[in-house]
């Protein structure tokens, strides 16, 4: 698989990464550890060298699974993890106090079975802690060799500038896909200006852009999509129109809808690295194949026209979850 640089940080990763959250958290029951380890190693075998986790995924379970899976090839991969929630629990609110950041780093190193965190994200901006203090703490961890690069997740332009002035930000991780394009209006130009890479999560619209979800799909009781307005049955029925149009374009290109959606993201900027997640080997192989799909200017124009013609229905987050998106 091709490699990409995350901005001007010097951090080189595979063109597609693997979002590991869904193996342990968010989308129903956790995958059996042995199966999760097998899937992560299968990703490495297919050229994926960039793996994304967080203490909050589980909490804590996902980091341990990732650490076990990647220990044999640790020096050949890039591992990203995150701090920012009180006790690692997303339901308890935010906590990016310097002492907590240091605690998370130390515990993550043990769970990941490593001596350094390649990319350490603030999971969400904490309005009660000055960004300068957050960035300064990570700067100290970089000096100590415990962290290699600093990242932000779901941060806005002001937070990005303030953080970058203290400790260079290697990457911003936020949602971006054919059905959530807000970053184009809010942060992409700033990232290019500052030389910061962009790591889109949910690049397949939390699974919707694969075409496998419709109004009749039922989710496990613990699946967070049950709380997302965009996944309400009526919204799903309306949004299916976009998927159907994209599926037609994909069929003419002889690729899958998921591959089309990922190839579109890869075409946006050379410093964009999507991190689709999956629990299934055939989906992993399908996603990895997107890295070799090249879209022509005509393809891109057709996709733009299709998206413009079908407005997406429903908010991407519940009101409570939206409050965690930083400024």
Percent of the chain with pLDDT over 90: 97
Res 326 pLDDT > 90 = no
Question: Would you name the residues annotated as active-site residues?
Answer: 57
pLDDT score at 97? 98
Res 137 pLDDT > 90 = yes
Res 234 pLDDT > 90 = yes
pLDDT score at 157? 97
Please provide the average confidence, as pLDDT, over all residues in the chain: 97
Please name each of the domains of the chain with its CATH number: 3-322 (3.20.20.100)
| pLDDT tens digits, one per residue of 21-72 | 999 999 999 999 999 999 999 999 999 999 999 999 999 999 999 999 999 9
Q: What is the DSSP letter of 180?
A: B
Res 321 pLDDT > 90 = no
Cis peptide before 59 (omega within 30 of 0): yes
Q: What is the DSSP letter of 154?
A: S
Cα four-point dihedral sign 159, 162, 166, 167: positive
pLDDT score at 324? 87
- pTM over 0.85, yes/no: yes
Question: Do the Cβ atoms of 140 and 125 come closer than 8 Å?
Answer: no
pLDDT score at 24? 97
| pLDDT tens digits, one per residue of 102-133 | 999 999 999 999 999 999 999 999 999 999 99
Question: Do the Cβ atoms of 313 and 239 come closer than 8 Å?
Answer: yes
pLDDT score at 320? 87
Rg (CA), the chain: 19
DSSP string, 219-255: --TTBGGGG-GGGSHHHHHHHHHHHHHHHHHHHHHTS
- Tell me the mean pLDDT in the region 178-194: 97
């Amino acid at each position: 698989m091709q490699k990409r640089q995350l901005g001007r940080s010097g951090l080189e990763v595979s063109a597609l990464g693997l979002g590991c959250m869904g193996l342990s958290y968010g989308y129903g029951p956790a995958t059996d550890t042995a199966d999760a380890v097998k899937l992560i190693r299968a990703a490495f075998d297919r050229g994926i060298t960039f793996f994304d986790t967080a203490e909050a995924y589980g909490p804590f379970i996902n980091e341990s699974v990732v650490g076990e899976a990647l220990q044999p090839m640790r020096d050949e991969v890039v591992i990203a993890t995150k701090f920012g929630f009180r006790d690692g629990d997303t339901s308890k609110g935010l906590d990016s106090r310097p002492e907590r950041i240091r605690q998370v780093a130390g515990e993550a190193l043990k769970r990941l079975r490593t001596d350094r965190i390649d990319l350490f994200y603030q999971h969400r901006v904490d309005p009660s802690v000055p960004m300068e203090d957050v960035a300064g703490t990570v700067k100290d961890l970089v000096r100590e060799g415990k962290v290699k690069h600093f990242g932000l997740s779901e941060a806005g332009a002001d937070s990005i500038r303030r953080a970058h002035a203290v400790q260079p930000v290697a990457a911003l991780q936020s949602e971006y896909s054919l059905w959530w394009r807000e970053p184009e209006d809010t942060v992409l130009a700033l990232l290019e200006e500052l030389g910061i890479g962009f790591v889109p999560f949910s690049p397949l619209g939390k699974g919707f852009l694969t075409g496998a979800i419709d109004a009749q799909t039922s989710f496990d009781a613990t699946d967070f999509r049950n709380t997302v307005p965009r996944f309400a049955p009526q919204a799903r029925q309306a949004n299916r129109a976009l998927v159907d149009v994209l599926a037609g374009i994909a069929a003419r290109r002889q690729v899958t809808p998921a591959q089309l959606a990922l190839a579109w993201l890869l075409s946006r900027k050379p410093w964009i690295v999507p991190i689709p997640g999956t629990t299934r080997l055939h989906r992993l192989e399908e996603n990895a194949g997107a890295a070799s799909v090249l879209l022509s200017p005509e393809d891109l124009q057709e996709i733009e026209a299709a998206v413009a013609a079908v407005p997406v229905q429903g908010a991407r987050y519940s009101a409570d979850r939206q409050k965690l998106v930083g400024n």
